[in-house]
Chains A and B, each alone.
Chain A
């Protein structure tokens, strides 16, 4: 299981990667995709201003559906085009931290990032959950 060090994590298994001062990419973790199984569909919420903990998409596998929650507040500016077009959902399973990113967000409260877990803390969190 993968826990890249340059990312921040949530207890609901999302990761966030700062691109610059104002924007970041968000996706779900390796642990999350593994629990969900083969992803067959992703339904994105409409773009726009959202708060931390709002649902930004629902991921469906054959046997389950799970919501993904925003780690921070901001405006969703982009959804990963490959996924939004109903294609290549396996990217989220195979490359959850890279090609399988879900949304790009413009941060409204960058200080919220400090409330998240780093790689080490998240790894511990996952191991304890098991």
Chain B
């Protein structure tokens, strides 16, 4: 049986590889490439796409019916063959969708107070129902995540690589789920940094060390999350992140921006909120002259 791939995203898959199925979920399958041990994901085509993925529009079966962990997969010239079942996935006509975050500019004047307040209110609404029981574990987690992000912001403003390394160390692999909250915050943060051209120009040395530190600490987290972090460092993000940043930088209406933010929030269980928190944190550096008091710092007021 041949399944025709609906689309794939950048960075593109190598033209030929052998892989093993790493993990299977209802709507996603992770493949572990044998030569590099990189993870690539096959997704059910939805409205949000991720970097380096292949998307199928299989409607009648779940991925659990098609794949199983340990299954061998080989890919060559647009055709993927699944071991044991011999099913094929044909990617030769798949649409290519770009997940590279273009060099956008968001200036302080574009990132208006209205947008800031809207995003803040949105996060507040969505985060309060995330922690159902105020267990000690959850409270500790919140504090660490908040502190880590605050350190990241300070480190960037003061161009302090040592502080940045500390912050990254604190956040990597912290939290529950396949992409732990700390990793998601880093991904969002990396996206936000890219839009501040002034910062990129002024902070070249700092940013170089910053990104290499993220790469150094990759193996502290699980292989699936590592992949998203790696893509983020190289400038590839989910279409939801790209849409939101594009909306802000091209001066769309507050309603449209809110729509984009809401879409981002739908990712995973808490991933969307965490990514937005990281993004929000990075964008707030645009107001670095205003970030003095703790009040503005408490991006996570709503977490309490």
Whether chains A and B associate is no
Q: Which residues of A are in contact with B by a Cβ distance under 8 Å?
A: none
Interface residues of B (CB under 8 A from A): none
